[in-house]
Amino acid sequence: MGTLYLVPTPIGNLEDITLRGLRILREVALIAAEDTRTSHILLQHYAIKTPLTSYHEHNKLTKLDAILGTLATGDVALISDAGTPAISDPGYELVKTVIAAGYRVEALPGANAMLPALTASGLPTDSFLFLGFFPRKHNQQTALLADIANMRHTLIWYESPNRLIDTLTVIHDQLGNRQICVAREISKKFEEFIRGNITDVIAHFGEYAPRGEVVIVVHGAVDAPIERWTETQLRDEIHKRRIAGDPLKTIARDLALISGWDRREIYDLGND
């Protein structure tokens, strides 16, 4: 029975791959790649001639049987476009299926964008929460940020450059003007780390449009979790704010930061 190897590939600099990773890519019977065109550049650079097949979000179901068939007689390597496979890509579903089928899975350490961004950010590294790609829908963004607002972990997201300023604005509105680091083009020629509070970083990218894939690193909550208000206290404050003419959406956002209640709970109470 074969082994599925998870082989990290460079996120920019082609030298950022291990000797063991190169050996495995040469020795396996098949390489499953997220994008064969991108992976071909790496394989050609290192003169690796192992058969290559695509495995991505849009063909993952049709490719499973073929990959399992190869594992019955030989080894398979899974690689992503860049970085460690199965992190924020469909690779985890293949891993789950291969394990269920009784095959061995072996993950190699190696390149990724998240850890270099964190370690070079200047923000706390002892406890962190990686959240993948930042949600695209506004209601999902606000719900997520409300859930993690009081967490003391350093927060990490992947984001695209064209959404960066909007994303930072949402984070600022929900979490306050925290210290952050935006890392882009990690390990490439124009690698850049922009550090400061969110307002300053937004101003920077308003003047210098970001390019390349981005990692956002955000300082965790500094204060200890706040004591939860009683329902009576909360209703009284909502009532005062409504009399003052404040929109319920604004009330829910503001009180979620100081009451220990989730903004959705506050909104529901305000609609009672």
Are 8 and 103 members of one domain?
A: yes
**Residue at 239: amino acid letter:** H
Are 136 and 154 members of one domain?
A: yes
CA–CA separation, 249 and 241 (whole Å): 11
Q: What is the pLDDT of residue 210?
A: 94
Q: What is the pLDDT of residue 224?
A: 56
Q: What is the pLDDT of residues 219-269, one digit of tens each?
A: 999 865 568 899 999 999 999 999 999 999 889 888 887 888 888 889 899
Does a structural domain hold residue 225? Answer: no
Residue where a domain stops, chosen among 107, 125, 143: 107
Are 103 and 7 members of one domain?
A: yes
**Residue at 221: amino acid letter:** A
Q: What is the pLDDT of residue 145?
A: 96
CA–CA separation, 26 and 36 (whole Å): 16
CA–CA separation, 145 and 197 (whole Å): 17
User: Which region, left, alpha or beta, applies to residue 218 given φ > 0 means left and ψ of -120 to 50 means alpha?
Assistant: beta
Nearest-Å Rg of the Cα atoms of the chain is 23
The CATH number that applies at residue 194 is 3.30.950.10
**Which stretches of the chain drop beneath a pLDDT of 70?**
223-226
Number of domains into which the chain is organized:
3
Are 211 and 122 members of one domain?
A: yes
Residues in the chain: 272
Does a structural domain hold residue 165? Answer: yes
Does a structural domain hold residue 235? Answer: yes
Q: What is the pLDDT of residue 152?
A: 94
Q: What is the pLDDT of residue 225?
A: 57
What domain range is 185 assigned to?
114-218
Q: What is the pLDDT of residue 123?
A: 96
Residue where a domain stops, chosen among 80, 107, 134: 107
